[in-house]
């Protein structure tokens, strides 16, 4: 059972791959399982509650449970509520998980004689996959405890990343979603050391990684990109069609004092200037971001400044969260706690503004011809995504009354209608 973000999903995939390589069968139900591994999330209170509920459900349904993931860093909390769990580990602890599995469920046979696909075992559909390029984070944002859970930045060797990407592409994956805690920082800890792929030297840096992945001929989408100046080097690759023209940039706020209290990089003025520069180079770029309302000490005037930023930036996709105190986060000690109802009211106001912007931007696409990637085909027709739509968090493109397609197909369509979140299209003859 895998909970939380795509980075945790990749951890689960790696655990499943190794278990399968050792001859274990993967069960789709509690009844068919001899043991359950629950990969937890511990970032915000709602995620903690979901993880604890999932552990309780697995214990009730099966009885033999190993817990891993971010919530595993709070072993005392888990033991207090669920003392019968067999073992608990922290995040990215595949070796420990395997050891505990071996203890409670002996290994069926030698891994060196087992066969698994080169791309490993995946929990995503066959046509897209997450590609994690690093672990941890060197930032110390006051609202976040990820560095204390997952540790400092550790970049994967670029040769390993590219080999995984190549294997995924060869297995039929049509879209790679590049993820990490801080994608822009890839290679910083290695001082951009030169690695090798296919006998070719390649610097361990995001630009060089993206240029190499572009050679696989599939969609490459970047997530969790901090707005460092180095990101500017990626925009020409998007304009040239080597990368999807899409950036997931977590700005979080626009007021200088709040950004400083959050310990976030870049000011709103720099971010607006950078967005304008990106759009000048690649007019079709889609920018997604997330924001927090009701951060401790946030005044109405500071929130209004955030709204003004939203209106001026005209971002394509926006997620917004009312501030939620996370156990262990430094922000909890800041003065000026904002009442829950005010946090939520500001969140709604921001999303109301963004909904109008989103509707206008999507309506402007009516009449355009675009490429979409098919996710599913149901009784009403094709459900797909454009380059502007990451799976599960962005919108969809519906091609109704058209059934001649399969998941993983690319289609050329014409946009005929739009609403606040989705597009409606017809296939081109």
Whether residues 360 and 375 share a domain: the answer is no
What is the rounded CA–CA span in Å between residue 237 and residue 207? 9
**CATH at residue 356:** 3.80.30.20
Whether residues 249 and 311 share a domain: the answer is yes
Encode 109-139: b = buried (16+ Cβ within 10 Å), e = exposed.
eeeeeeeeeebbbbebeebbbbbbbbbbbeb
CB hemisphere CA count around 263 (13 angstroms):
12
- Was 210 annotated as part of a binding site? no
Cα separation values, 149 from 70, 74, 90, 111, Å:
6, 9, 7, 30
Whether residues 403 and 268 share a domain: the answer is no
The residue among 364, 396, 413 that closes a domain is: 364
Whether residues 281 and 148 share a domain: the answer is yes
The residue among 364, 383, 399 that closes a domain is: 364
pLDDT at residue 13 in the model: 93
Whether residues 382 and 347 share a domain: the answer is no
First to last CA, the chain: 43
- The pTM assigned to this predicted structure is 0.82
Confidence of residue 177 (pLDDT cuts 50, 70, 90): very high
Whether residues 135 and 264 share a domain: the answer is yes
Our CA angle for 154, 116, 219, nearest 5°, is 60
What is the rounded CA–CA span in Å between residue 389 and residue 399? 15
pLDDT at residue 262 in the model: 94
Q: Is residue 266 part of a domain?
A: yes
Residue 419 near residue 360, CB atoms below 8 Å: no
Confidence of residue 264 (pLDDT cuts 50, 70, 90): confident
Whether residues 86 and 27 share a domain: the answer is yes
- Token pair of 2, please? 């895998």
Q: Is residue 117 part of a domain?
A: no
**CATH at residue 388:** 2.40.50.140
What is the rounded CA–CA span in Å between residue 130 and residue 426? 29
The residue behind tokens 């004689």 is 113
Sheet hosting strand 128-132, strand order edge to edge: 128-132, 175-179, 219-222, 246-248, 286-293, 317-322
Q: Is residue 41 part of a domain?
A: yes
- Was 282 annotated as part of a binding site? no
Using alpha carbons, select from 185, 331, 194 the residue that is nearest to residue 253: 331
Residue 163 phi, psi dihedral angles, 5° rounding = -65, -40
Q: Is residue 122 part of a domain?
A: no
Q: Is residue 341 part of a domain?
A: yes
What is the rounded CA–CA span in Å between residue 76 and residue 48? 13
Residue 302 near residue 258, CB atoms below 8 Å: yes
Whether residues 278 and 189 share a domain: the answer is yes
User: pLDDT by residue (tens digit) across 90-125?
Assistant: 888 898 999 999 989 987 766 665 667 777 878 889
Q: pLDDT at residue 82 above 90?
A: yes
Whether residues 339 and 202 share a domain: the answer is yes
What is the rounded CA–CA span in Å between residue 150 and residue 341? 32
The residue among 343, 364, 385 that closes a domain is: 364
Whether residues 372 and 265 share a domain: the answer is no
User: pLDDT by residue (tens digit) across 45-60?
Assistant: 889 999 999 999 999 9
User: pLDDT by residue (tens digit) across 11-20?
Assistant: 999 999 999 8
User: pLDDT by residue (tens digit) across 387-398?
Assistant: 999 999 999 999
pLDDT at residue 267 in the model: 62
What is the rounded CA–CA span in Å between residue 1 and residue 36? 8
Whether residues 223 and 200 share a domain: the answer is yes
Q: pLDDT at residue 321 above 80?
A: yes
**CATH at residue 53:** 3.40.50
What length is written for the chain? 429
Using alpha carbons, select from 274, 212, 218 the residue that is nearest to residue 247: 274
Whether residues 154 and 303 share a domain: the answer is yes
Q: Is residue 109 part of a domain?
A: no
Q: Is residue 116 part of a domain?
A: no
| Number of compact structural domains in the chain | 3
Domain that holds residue 37: 6-104
3-state secondary structure of 39: strand
- Among the residue ranges 126-130, 198-202, 215-219, 415-419, the one predicted with the least confidence is 198-202
Q: Is residue 121 part of a domain?
A: no
pLDDT at residue 112 in the model: 61
């Amino acid at each position: 059972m895998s909970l939380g973000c795509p980075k945790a999903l990749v951890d689960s995939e790696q655990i499943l791959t190794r278990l399968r390589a050792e001859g274990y069968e993967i069960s789709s139900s509690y009844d068919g399982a001899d043991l359950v591994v629950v990969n937890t999330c511990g970032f915000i209170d709602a995620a903690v509650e979901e993880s604890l509920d999932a552990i309780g459900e697995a214990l009730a349904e099966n009885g033999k449970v190993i817990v891993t993931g971010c919530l595993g860093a709070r072993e005392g909390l888990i033991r207090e509520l669920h003392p019968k769990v067999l073992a608990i580990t922290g995040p990215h602890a595949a070796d420990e998980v395997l050891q505990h599995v071996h203890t409670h469920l002996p290994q069926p046979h030698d891994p060196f004689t087992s066969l698994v696909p080169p791309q490993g075992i995946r929990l995503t559909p066959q046509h897209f996959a997450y590609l994690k390029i690093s672990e941890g984070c060197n930032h110390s944002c006051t609202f976040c405890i990820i560095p204390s859970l997952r540790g400092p930045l550790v970049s994967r060797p670029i040769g390993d990343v590219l080999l995984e990407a190549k294997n995924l592409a060869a297995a039929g994956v049509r879209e790679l979603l590049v993820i990490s805690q801080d994608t822009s920082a890839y290679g910083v800890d290695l001082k951009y050391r030169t690695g090798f792929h296919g006998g070719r030297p390649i610097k361990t840096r995001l630009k060089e990684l993206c240029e190499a992945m572009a050679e696989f001929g599939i969609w490459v989408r970047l997530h969790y990109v901090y707005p460092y100046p180095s990101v500017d080097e990626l925009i020409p690759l998007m304009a040239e069609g080597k990368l999807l023209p899409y950036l997931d940039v977590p700005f979080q706020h626009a007021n200088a004092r709040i950004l400083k209290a959050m310990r976030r990089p870049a000011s709103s003025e720099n971010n607006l200037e950078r967005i304008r520069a990106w759009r000048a180079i690649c007019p079709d770029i889609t920018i997604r971001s997330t924001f927090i309302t009701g951060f401790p000490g946030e005044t109405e005037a500071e929130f209004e400044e955030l709204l003004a930023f939203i209106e001026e930036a005209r971002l394509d996709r926006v997620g917004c969260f009312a501030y939620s105190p996370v156990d262990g986060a430094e922000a909890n000690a800041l003065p000026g706690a904002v009442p829950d109802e005010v946090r939520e009211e500001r969140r709604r106001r921001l999303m109301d503004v963004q909904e109008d912007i989103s509707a206008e931007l999507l309506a402007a696409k009516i009449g355009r011809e675009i490429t979409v990637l098919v996710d599913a085909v149901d009784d009403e027709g094709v459900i797909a995504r454009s380059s502007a739509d990451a799976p599960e968090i962005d919108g969809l493109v519906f091609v109704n009354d058209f059934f001649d397609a399969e998941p993983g197909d690319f289609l050329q369509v014409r946009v005929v209608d739009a609403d606040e979140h989705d597009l409606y299209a017809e296939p081109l003859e």
